[in-house]
Amino acid sequence: MQKKTVLVTGGAGFIGSHVSVELINAGYDLVVADDLSNCDMTNFEGLKQITGRDDIPFHQMTFCDEAATEKLFSENKIDAVIHFAAFKAVGESCAEPLKYYGNNLKSLINVLESARRHGCRNILFSSSCTVYGEPEKTPVTEQTPRQPATSPYGNTKQISEDILRDSVKAYGNIRGIALRYFNPIGAHPTALMGELPRGVPNNLVPYITQTAIGKRECLSVFGNDYPTPDGTNLRDYIDIVDLAKAHVCAVRRMIDDKMEADYEIFNVGTGKPASVLDLVNAFEKVSGEKLNWKFAPRRAGDVIAIWADPSLANEKLGWKAGRTIEDSLLAAWNWEKKLAR
Ligand code: WQD
């Protein structure tokens, strides 16, 4: 039977490259495209080594370019799109809102327009728990009301979900799934792919590993006076490979016509909250390294606590996170040590 082809936009990035490995392992063909604005080809090279495939088409392009997007769809028979291509730095989005609204919304609209024109019905959108803002109740389900976004980045995720939802409803020739990720952490067990933050990392885990390897002086724990058991924020840290496997389940659900509605949303998390100090302690345990850290003032925009109720994804996608925080931190540490060689 003819293999199905998945277009992975932003596919050279941290999440896109790990998803690409799992898609190939699941028997899909790929077209990978990335503008390399926030990563280099390290993870794409890792993807080729891990899968043993050096025939994966790669296109360096931005989906803000309507003509380039149209050309890609006209030259490839695409059965499903996973749309990762977006800017994603919360802080930067506050300083550069037009850059974020322009890039993140224009690229999605171009992808949807070309997909419709070329008979590609299946759109998987990379959304984020950030759409929930500061939830009144935790764990959050897909029915938990979205709060007003706390950053232009988060607003682009909310607006993008609405664009997909309204397009599915209006046109009838596309259907969509939005996956709301919680906090992706870790790296590929082979240490051939991982997180490659540019400059000073915003996110916790790359800052931890860069501190441990000596690239950063000291980890600042932003706030220890939150109304949580140990005073630090609670999050739902999900292993990057578990997250990647959820995408394969969602693509399969679309391509195999198993959807129960033309637009579906799933929380992709572990359902297990962990604090910043839980991660610091777990890292020291798995790495054997003593981490240099200190408490620092709260960071603007941080929500106190959020974690997923993943039961809908568990049931409908037949997917469940299996890796522990320790597994993820060890993989992230091995990746950091590999980068330092
Ligand atoms: C986690 C916790 C920080 C760094 C963001 C985006 C979200 C998604 C994931 C894109 C918080 C604390 C962090 C540090 C710290 N990204 N921290 N010291 O903010 O939960 O989510 O990344 O989709 O949309 O909002 O992740 O890793 O930045 O922070 O104490 O040096 O770690 O205060 O409590 P966050 P994070």
> Does 153 qualify as catalytic in the annotation?
yes
- Indicate whether 109 belongs to any domain: yes
The predicted pLDDT at position 150 comes to: 86
Phi-psi region of 172 (alpha: psi -120 to 50; beta: other; left: phi over 0): left
- Indicate whether 335 belongs to any domain: no
Return the best residue to mutate from 138, 216, 298, 302 for the ligand 1 pocket (most ligand atoms within 8 A of CB): 302
- Indicate whether 22 belongs to any domain: yes
Q: What is the pLDDT along the chain (341 residues), one digit of tens a residue?
A: 789 999 999 999 999 999 999 999 999 999 999 999 999 999 999 999 999 999 999 999 999 999 999 999 999 999 999 999 999 988 899 999 999 999 999 999 999 999 999 999 999 999 999 999 999 999 999 999 999 988 999 999 999 999 999 999 999 999 999 999 999 999 999 999 999 988 899 999 999 999 999 999 999 999 999 999 999 999 999 999 999 999 999 999 999 999 999 999 999 999 999 999 999 999 999 999 999 999 999 998 899 999 999 999 999 999 999 999 999 999 999 999 999 98
Q: Is 221 in the pocket of ligand 1 (CB under 6 A)?
A: yes
CA distance 191 to 86: 25
The predicted pLDDT at position 197 comes to: 87
CA distance 52 to 207: 31
- Indicate whether 199 belongs to any domain: no
Q: Is 128 in the pocket of ligand 1 (CB under 6 A)?
A: yes
Distance, CA 116 to ligand 1 centroid (Å)? Answer: 35
HSE of 278, CA atoms in CB hemisphere, 13 A:
17
Distance, CA 62 to ligand 1 centroid (Å)? Answer: 26
DSSP state of 3: P
Which of the residues 28, 100, 132, 153 is marked catalytic?
A: 153
The predicted pLDDT at position 91 comes to: 87
CA distance 245 to 26: 9
Chain position carrying tokens 């441990």? 212
Residues near 310 by Cβ (< 8 Å), separated by ≥ 6?
Answer: 267, 268, 269, 270, 271, 320, 321
CA distance 273 to 138: 10
User: What radius of gyration do the chain's Cα atoms show?
Assistant: 19
* Residue 220 Cα: closest atom of ligand 1: 18
Residues near 285 by Cβ (< 8 Å), separated by ≥ 6?
Answer: 326
- Indicate whether 329 belongs to any domain: no
* Residue of 233, 254, 230, 242 lying closest to 316 (CA atoms): 254
CA distance 112 to 106: 10
First CA to last CA across the chain, in angstroms? Answer: 44
Q: Is 329 helix (H, G, I), strand (E, B) or coil?
A: helix
The predicted pLDDT at position 54 comes to: 95
The predicted pLDDT at position 19 comes to: 98
CA distance 180 to 177: 10
Tokens of 289: 């390294």
Contact 55, 81 (CB under 8 A): no
Q: Is 203 in the pocket of ligand 1 (CB under 6 A)?
A: yes
Count of domains observed in the chain: 1
The CATH number assigned to the domain holding 124 equals 3.40.50.720
Nearest CA to ligand 1 atom 36: 203
Q: Is 338 in the pocket of ligand 1 (CB under 6 A)?
A: no
Quote the Cα angle for 246-57-317, to 5°. Answer: 10
Tokens of 62: 């931005």
- The residue segments making up the domain with residue 248 are 5-185+238-269
Distance, CA 231 to ligand 1 centroid (Å)? Answer: 16
CA distance 155 to 148: 8
- Indicate whether 333 belongs to any domain: no
- Indicate whether 69 belongs to any domain: yes
Nearest CA to ligand 1 atom 27: 203
CA distance 216 to 131: 31
The model's pTM: 0.97
- Indicate whether 194 belongs to any domain: no
Q: Is 222 in the pocket of ligand 1 (CB under 6 A)?
A: yes
CA distance 14 to 240: 8
- Read off the pLDDT of residues 81-118 as tens digits, 9 standing for 90 and up: 999 999 998 889 999 999 999 999 999 999 999 999 99
Q: Is 202 in the pocket of ligand 1 (CB under 6 A)?
A: yes
CA distance 16 to 244: 8
